[in-house]
């Protein structure tokens, strides 16, 4: 566990104050097309991946319909996480591409455009699952900004979220 000073540094510049949601941005990429490209890259990197189909109106709803327990270390109510992902679908062009036992792979059509937006997204991720932040080794918002939003192994709200765990990001 991090000491108090390190915990405060992790949530800087916001501390314990909720800064609000990152703004939605105009999507210059079709979210569904990007998700299809992301899925192809995901499968190319993981050829033994198995397909699972869930009758649901969206990827966010599929999480609850399937009874996904990925964030169970943090909260047992998958519907809460589905609601957040649904908001990300509308606001950021997020699409659920793959789900594992403790992972959620998303593509993002409207990623943060600057450091301030990246900090707001990092605050949302912290609220979603603080393990992503606590267990990281580098400034989180910078990892989001530098992420390759088209590579499934290199993104965040853009790629890989582990519950509990850390984000897999490029240097």
Per-residue pLDDT reduced to its tens digit, 93-119:
999 998 887 778 888 888 888 888 888
* pLDDT value for 102: 74
87, pLDDT greater than 90 = yes
In this model, does residue 65 exceed pLDDT 90? Answer: yes
Residue 154: what pLDDT?
Answer: 30
Q: Tell me, yes or no, whether 13 lies in a domain.
A: no
pLDDT value at position 168? 32
Q: Is residue 135 in a domain?
A: yes
| CA 68/CA 82 separation, integer angstroms | 10
The pTM (predicted TM-score) of the whole model is 0.76
Question: Stretch 128-137: mean pLDDT, rounded?
Answer: 65
Mean of the pLDDT values across residues 148-160?
A: 39
* Cβ–Cβ < 8 Å for 164, 129: yes
Instruction: For residue 116, give its domain range.
Output: 30-48+57-162
CA distance 8 to 153: 29
| Other Cβ atoms closer than 10 A to 55 | 8
Query: When comparing pLDDT for 74 and 139, which is higher?
Result: 74
Q: What is the mean pLDDT of the chain?
A: 75
Q: How many domains does the chain have?
A: 1
Q: What is the mean pLDDT of residues 106-134?
A: 79
Q: Is the pLDDT at 2 greater than 70, yes or no?
A: no
pLDDT band with cut points at 50, 70 and 90 for residue 157: very low
End-to-end CA distance of the chain, in Å?
A: 23
Assigned domain for 105 exists: yes
**Model confidence at 59, in pLDDT bands (50, 70, 90)?**
very high
Q: Beta partners for 105?
A: 98, 160
Q: Is residue 168 part of a domain?
A: no
Six-digit token pair at 1?
A: 């566990």
Query: Sheet harboring 103-108: ordered strands across?
Result: 94-99, 103-108, 160-162
pLDDT number for residue 70: 72
Query: Does 98 reside within a domain?
Result: yes
* 101 found inside a domain: yes
């Amino acid at each position: 566990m991090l000491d108090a000073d390190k915990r405060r540094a992790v949530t800087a510049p916001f501390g314990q104050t909720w800064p609000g949601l990152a703004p939605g941005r105009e999507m210059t990429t079709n979210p569904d097309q990007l998700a299809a490209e992301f899925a192809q890259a995901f499968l190319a990197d993981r050829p033994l991946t198995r397909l699972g189909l869930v009758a649901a109106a969206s990827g966010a709803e599929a999480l609850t319909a399937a009874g996904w327990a990925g964030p169970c270390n943090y909260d047992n109510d998958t519907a809460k996480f589905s609601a957040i992902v649904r908001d990300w679908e509308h606001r950021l062009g997020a699409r659920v591409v793959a789900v594992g036992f403790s992972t959620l792979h998303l593509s993002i059509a409207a990623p943060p455009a600057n450091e301030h937006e990246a900090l707001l997204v990092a605050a949302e991720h912290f609220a979603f699952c603080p393990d992503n932040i606590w267990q990281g080794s580098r400034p989180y918002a910078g990892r989001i900004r530098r992420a390759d939003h088209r590579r499934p192994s290199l993104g965040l709200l853009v790629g890989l979220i582990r519950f509990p765990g850390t984000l897999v990001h490029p240097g």
